[in-house]
Structure 1
């Protein structure tokens, strides 16, 4: 086994759903099962990974448990060394990473509310529960990146790597798609904007007259994640809040109630609970701006006109995406959608949003779909036009068609060998103490001395 921290620990985040679900189904009595340098490994960390794998249908035997144990020991060694090297990850970076992962799962399941219902936790609770895990993983990955930085792979090394793979072990490359989109959301009408503003003004007036902010948040706030907590969202830094909310929240004193604040989510009123250094704990009431059916129809009409113009217009799909698409992340890239998990433009079929998947499967390469309904994770409605740029069929990897993937695998193998050497060097002068029940594991590295 070549150790790669992503193999097991990535499950906590990429398969965060399984882990979250497992933790709602029962509690684990905790204890320390290993110490690496100054870092303690808890039994609950091991058990969470095991439950996560089992929930994916993986049979976990004693050998698998030992492999997971070694991955976790490796993570602790990385964290220990990162502290010695003063290598850090900021709270803002952690928050952004948590949001990125959660947004992926919200898109998969349909909405924040559905995610909370499924895991029986609020978004705030999910974030808090995994904040430490996410930070540890990010520190580990950054440290591992430092270990292997500067390593390169030559074309000869790639060819040699491929030739050494037995014929019956050459991996299958699953079907992948690359697609572009023009996403048009319904606009907010002046009438609906004014209606939402009047609603939140009325709520604010009641608070100013003495009614309890928390009670009114529970009754009226349309932020499903925080309403049940009386509108409280917890301690967050400036970068973790949208700019308009942040600017207001950090100006509040004592328990003052803000004026009405408009963000991309709608209208807010904010109350300061407590400030600690560069973080504030606030509660808020959100009233969203409703989108009328007329505006949804207007979005469809615009999408229809673009679709009808595309076959004969001198403007390309990418030109229209840049001019009209409301998806900022793809509009400037000819409408090409990036895979948030890999950073590339290619998606395996199970990585594609369900809304998009059923449209893509009907298209041939180069074809453009008719406008289809679209809805964002925060409830925005509109229409989407999709172009299938390419689709590969499942096949055995070859240097001719999959050079970049084989090159990546070869570099990964080289990095793995370099990392194994690093582990052995560090373990020579790092204190490690493992619980007796795990000393019988056939570890690849000398964790037991």
Structure 2
């Protein structure tokens, strides 16, 4: 989640964060990350405590000020009035405060585990923001200065966003593991889904997310759907009644009833939501192409014939079987002497000396030297562009020119070349990615809940209402 609360109210530029599409950020439902920063009408406020500013929450050893909350709520209303117009003010302020608290806890966790942000990472982060606004870094810096913002405040906020991204990778993504058995089961389900006569009877609740929605909006809308899901699963309301009340989908008046749909016609974003659902069950809240969704699987039928799955474009990969010799400069042998040695080796190869024998004697790649420099079959797309370019020039049995790599000087002999069908592997990779996103969402929610449960949080906002179903509620 990102607010511009650290910057002084002025004309000009609004920095906000969209929900990330990568594993981790979107799934955690809080911060959006740097890749979604952009500029548009900015309000800003210096985060220096003022004598009359009130504390609305204490988060361990940090505080959140009323001015910060006011600025965040004002920005949310300005950008997304249509999404939140019917929410009671105290509910809206409470949900935004919950988002601010979760962001602060993630920053604290990053500091606790020693997450650092290098100058290069900070510079790259600022450059990505500039690119999103069709500027180079110099132009972006000038635009910030002209708007009256403080560049040092902006740098600090970017540094915090990078910390959040890195601590997620460390604490969440490292725990996400998808087994081959998981992939097998998923593909079996997909085969059934795309069978010729398999159909699903679905109900849907959809809340729109306008293009450019920041993570504050995404978090608030996600909280609304999560609360609604809890009310449905606890029996306080029915899915159909909830859909009629809040859904912004085309079938809201029909209780969100989409009717019977062919499995092959469903959007890709529904894949992981439907995976593992039985009739009568409700999906988790998930991100679709134009909003956040809940699905209820009313029933399913068919699926007895033609379960081969949808047609998939063939994925062909070029592989090369190569031998190589790498010689590296060291404390005894200078770069110039190393290059001269490589030239001498190549001359001997061209004169007919055995490649394997010379590799065993001279190559500094100990992993392949014992095998006479034999690398085996390797996909060209896994090699560096420079190495790939040299291999593409070779015919079977030919020896490359000497070329420099980050390790030293390399000579390659092309043993053979072939095309390999990787369609099935590409299919498995896609399934693994889909399952990984789902597991990351589940693991991320558990991690956030643990952060909140273990923290000291003192809410001092008048009429605060905890968001049901979110960490700390």
| TMscore range, shorter length | 0.3 to 0.5
Normalising by the residue count of structure 1, what TM-score does the alignment of the two structures yield?
Answer: 0.38
Name whichever structure is richer in helix by fraction: 1
Normalising by the residue count of structure 2, what TM-score does the alignment of the two structures yield?
Answer: 0.37
Larger radius of gyration: 2
